[in-house]
Structure formats: structure tokens, C-alpha cells
Amino acid sequence: MTSEVDVIVIGSGFGGAISASRIAEAGFKVRVLERGPWRDSIPNASQDIPNRVPFPTEGWHFWTKAVRTLRNNKLPGGRITLNKKGFYEVLIGKGLNILCSSNVGGGSHAYGGLNMPPPMPGYWDDIDSGLSEDRMAGHYAEVMKRMGASTPSDEHIPQSIRKRFSHSDAIHSGPEAGALQMGFLFPEEPGQPREITTEDGVRRREIGCGEGGFLGSPDGAKTPLEVAYLYRAMQQGLEICDQQEVLAIRKETKAGETRYCVNVENHHTGQFESHYAKHVIVAAGTVNTLHLLLHSRDGDKGLGGMPQLGKKFGSNGDYFAYWDWQDRFHDMSQSLPVNGYVRLKGETEAAEVDQPFIIEAPLPCPDKLRLPGWVAKKLRQGTFIAGMGKDAMDGTVSLKKGKLNVDYKPENSSIFGEIREQMDRIAEKTGKRILSIKRPTTAHPLGGACIGRNIDEGVVDGKGEVFDHPGLYVADAAALPKPVEGPPSMTVAAWANHVGEQVIMKLRRENSDSFRQPLLLQELSEKQLIERDEIG
């Protein structure tokens, strides 16, 4: 048994790190339980973080540490863990492949560094009476400032869409094609990155070509959540427990008070432990959040209720393909993780607006990964191209015989056909093939524990609190009730910032009530003494 804290936060990605840090910075005792390890980055080394694990970016580490777990309900137990310190978890569900990361700092190590709100305005309107676009605007501004979001110049992006298509009649190359805010530390002199030390004593290296991609940023050039949030909060008492895999959440009532017991497997020791708090924030990443809540409800039976759990699950319309440039004169991998928007020049302005959200994304450093020669060559001579958009969000996630079951029907979402059609047109206009598979793969699963106005519409309310389990919150993308239609990291971050704020307000009310109660008893006692004296 471990000591009780004010708040337990499960997961340290955009949902967990931000909500935990906000609450800790407000003076409350917060413990983060993260199943992944601290990564061996320059920033983490500068803070003397112990037990650091290499990124899968060089040599044999790609083969030994790239994949943590393979999940499919046809596997024994529903999953096979290859390396508990691996970087990615791969889930092969019905109709959909899913990727999610496993690190202290979560998806901030794996994403492309894009820091942007939803492409379409009004995302937060008409979800809950306590939410609106205006109310959430301040949360976006706060998290983007903390992440160091800025817009690079073309000189920082060697394979910029704007530069490569500056004379194209088919592809947009105006300012809007590269107006992407990114969470990178850009060098003052493009192409000449330096190592710097911040005012807080954190060492980082500015972004260079071919760095900061989807396999992590060992130099810390891509701003990780450790740098933006965790270090500062740790100085104010935030406790980070890495390699702690949460197995179940139970609710206990003792002396009239309800608290939660969080059961974990400590991968450092191999022991099973229990942690206690009156408030628990679940932010383990959409799929793992849903698995944990489903197991705690249906398998471990520690929680009940949540009738809408596992419903309204979506993929954010993610669709990835390979753009076969066959460029023998340029190394396409030597750029930033995102080169810019890919948009066709249409006949009318309306046609251009209706185009799906599509970006070009190189895979950095293929030569460092010990790949077969022909694979490395393909990655140097081409790029990935990724589309996102509005899917139907009608998938379900459930437990079947103890195994996680994802049921998603891509044929129900027209966005995949629209993206494929757009990619076919781009290929035709540029004369370069775009190769894809029909089955979509998402790195941005959403929903399943959605925000709703009541328990019949969702799992959590507009404050992130589970309707039928007060003190239990969901602060990651599992709570989002509709597709973001673009990179969702900052939307998850803004939501987590909002949830953290709501938990702080609740904790302060509870503390105020606990202080008021003895005061009321004292006042009552004094009043009784006065009355007794008067009677005497």
C-alpha cells in the first residue's frame, strides 16, 4: 500500500501531463502513473533523470525498442508484449489499425510537432452548456505558449511545399501552404543548430534536418511535455512514477468517504501495488483509457455504470500513404517532420475550401535505422502523405472474453474515399504515384468515453467528470465527442488544461468545506456555552 494523494493521474501524454502539472502547480499533491519509461534525451539527462531508455532512432534500437505491444483479439490474451520499454503499441482491430506511444511525455515524443487548433471553427460549440469556442480559446493560447509554438520560415524546411511547388500550376505554394505552427526549437541560423541551456537549466539542441520525427527527438529539439510542463511541476511536488502499468480502478467507501484504489504492476520491481486518492484522472491514451475503464467495469468489476462507455469511437479520418517521388537528386528525409499542406489549385475558391486536410511528412533518418537498403532508399526518395477529416465516429470498443475488441467500419465514413480521391488527383497532377492500402491506420483515435450533456449521451460531463463516478475524470482524446479533422494534440491539451482547472476548483471547494466544518463546530460550541451561562 502506498500513501494517499489528492489526485492520481494515469498517463503522462498531452492529457495526463498537462492536467497533472496544472493541479500540482496549484499546490495539491499529485502522483502520475505512467507505464512507459523516461527516454534518454538531452533534456532528461540534464535533469539527472534515472533509468533512461534509448529512443528507437538509431541502430538496432529501432528493431528492439520500436514496438512495445501487439494487440489483436485473436492473439492469446489479446496481446503480446515484445518489450515493456518499447516506443509504440500496435493494435490491429476490425477495420482499423491503431498506433499509440508509451513514454513519459506520451505522444509529445511521437507526434509531428504540429501545434494547431481544429481547422474548422466552432469545434467546442454545441457539446455541453459549460463549453464553447470562446471559453476554450484561452486554454489553447496557454498550452501553445507553453509548448513554444511558432511558425518556421521556408529556410527551416529544406523540402518545403512552398519552395518545391513555387512554379506549379497544380499545387498551392502560397503562404497558407506552409503556415504551420510547430513545437520545435528553431535555430536562429537555419541549418546551423546549436545546443542551448534554458533559464531553468534544461539543455536542448535546436532542430536540424532529419530530426524530431515520429520516433522521438533525442536532442529535445521537438518540445516534449517534460520540458514544457513536467520539470517545473516536479519542482513543486509532482510525483512521476514511470514503468507503472495500471491494471484496474476500484471504488472504496470507508467511514462514509469514497476514494479510489488504483492497482498497478510496477515493472521496475515486478510487484503489484495499490495507490489511493479521492480524485483520479484517466489519460492513458484513448485505447488504453477505454481498456482500463472497460476492464474496471466489466472485467475487474471495480466500477459500474457508464452505459455509453465504448460507444462513438472514431479515427479522426486518419489515412496514410507513401508518395513515391523517386527523387534521386534530393534526400527527402532531410527536412522537418512536416513539409506543409498539400492542396490542389481548384477552379473555384469553394472547391479549394472543401478539400480534405492533407500534409506531407517525411520519415527522418532512414539511414540510422539499419533498414534493408532498398527500404532506406525508398524512404530517402519519397515521403509519407497523410489525410485527416470527419469520420462517422460510429465505432465501438468493448471487452470480449477479457480481450479488447475494436469494431470500426471505414465504409461508413465518406472521408476515406474523399482523401483517396484527392490523393489520386494529386498523383495525377504531379506525375508521382501515391501508394496506399485500403484499410486505414490512425495515430489519433478519439472518443469512446465522450463528453455529453447527461449519462444517456456520454460518459463524462463538460468538466471531464464521469457522470456516475464523482471524482473520476477523463482528460485525453477518449473524451472528445467528434473528430478534430486535423492534428488533435492541441485540442487534447486544451481539454486537459480545462479539466485540470475544474479539478483545482473542486479541490479548493472541498478544502474550504473541510476547514469550515471545524469552525462551525467551534462556533456552535461557543454559542452553547453562552446559552448555558445565560441559563445558569
DSSP sequence for 386-432: EEE------BEEEEETTEEEEE--GGG-HHHHHHHHHHHHHHHHHT-
Question: For 479-484, what is the mean pLDDT?
Answer: 97
Check whether 319 has a pLDDT greater than 80.
yes
d(CA 19, CA 8) in angstroms, rounded, equals 11
**Cα–Cα distance between 337 and 362 in angstroms, integer?**
6
Is pLDDT of 340 > 80? yes
For residue 90, what is the DSSP state? E
Cα distances from 448 to residues 306, 388, 406, 474, 496, in angstroms, run 11, 19, 11, 11, 17
**Which of 96-100, 200-204, 211-215, 409-413 bottoms out in mean pLDDT, i.e. has the lowest?**
211-215
Neighbours of 199 (CB within 10 A): 5
CA distance 221 to 16: 22
Distance CA 471, CA 477 (A): 19
pLDDT digits (tens, 9 = 90+) for 85-115: 999 999 999 999 999 999 999 999 999 999 9
Per the CB < 8 A criterion, the answer to whether 116 and 148 are in contact is: no
* Residue (of 99, 117, 103) closest to 384 by Cα position: 99
Instruction: Tell me: pLDDT of 527 over 90.
Output: no
Q: Are 446 and 478 in contact (CB under 8 A)?
A: yes
Q: How far apart are CA 88 and CA 219, in angstroms?
A: 19
Tell me if residue 465 falls in helix, strand or coil: strand
What distance in Å separates the CA atoms of residue 361 and residue 342, rounded to the nearest whole number? 10
Whether the pLDDT of residue 522 is over 50: the answer is no
Question: Residue 206: pLDDT above 70?
Answer: yes
CB atoms within 10 A of CB 406: 26
With CA atoms as reference, report the closest residue to 466 among 296, 264, 246, 316. 296
d(CA 355, CA 176): 14
Q: Is the confidence at residue 126, as pLDDT, over 50?
A: yes
Residue 423: closest CA among 314, 317, 315, 322: 322
Give φ, ψ of 124 to 5 degrees.
Answer: -90, -5
Residue 489: closest CA among 333, 321, 335, 316: 316
Please, are residues 261 and 250 in contact by the beta-carbon 8 Å criterion? yes
Q: Which residue has the higher pLDDT, 359 or 371?
A: 359
Strand partners of residue 356: none
536 pLDDT higher than 50: no
Using the structure block, give the residue that is written with the C-alpha cell 472543401. 354
The reported pLDDT for the residue numbered 519 is 40
Are 155 and 190 in contact, with CB atoms under 8 Å apart?
yes
Percent of residues, the chain, with pLDDT higher than 90: 76
Answer yes or no: is pLDDT of 425 > 90.
yes
- Note the pLDDT of residue 487: 96
Give helix 14-25 / helix 489-535 axis angle, nearest 10°: 30
Give pTM, 2 decimals: 0.93
State the Rg of the chain over Cα.
24
The reported pLDDT for the residue numbered 366 is 75
The confidence band for 365, taking pLDDT boundaries of 50, 70 and 90, is confident
* Amino acid present at 223: T
Determine the average pLDDT of the residues in 236-247: 97
- Structural contact between residues 226 and 104, judged by C-beta atoms closer than 8 angstroms: yes
What is the structure's pLDDT at 54?
94
Which of 60-64, 105-109, 168-172, 362-366 has the lowest average pLDDT? 362-366
The whole-chain average pLDDT of the chain stands at: 91
Residue carrying the nine cell digits 462513438: 312
75 vs 403: CA distance, rounded Å: 9
Predicted pLDDT of residue 353: 52
What does the DSSP 8-state code read for residue 38?
P
- Do residues 281 and 16 lie in contact, with contact meaning Cβ atoms separated by under 8 Å? yes
Tell me which residue has cell 468517504. 257
**Per-residue model confidence (pLDDT) at position 523:** 43
Statement: residue 528 has pLDDT above 90: no
Cα separation, 17 vs 217, whole angstroms: 18
Across residues 344-350, what is the average pLDDT? 62
What structural domains does the chain harbor? 5-151+190-316+392-408+439-528 (3.50.50.60)
The pLDDT score that the predictor gives to residue 6 is: 97
Q: Is 282 helix (H, G, I), strand (E, B) or coil?
A: strand
User: For residues 96 and 315, is the Cβ–Cβ distance under 8 A?
Assistant: yes
The residue behind cell 494517499 is 4
Predicted pLDDT at 530? 43
Distance, C-alpha 321 to centroid of its chain? 22
Element (H, E) at 125: none
- Report residue 513's pLDDT band, with 50, 70 and 90 as the boundaries: low
pLDDT in tens, 242-284: 999 999 999 998 777 889 999 999 999 999 999 999 999 999 9
Q: CB-based contacts of 390: which residues, under 8 Å, 6+ apart?
A: 317, 413, 415, 482, 483, 485
Question: Which residue is associated with the grid cell 532508399?
Answer: 377
Give Cβ neighbours of residue 138 (< 8 Å, ≥ 6 apart).
none
In the prediction, which pLDDT does 514 show? 59
Least confident interval from 333-337, 416-420, 522-526: 522-526
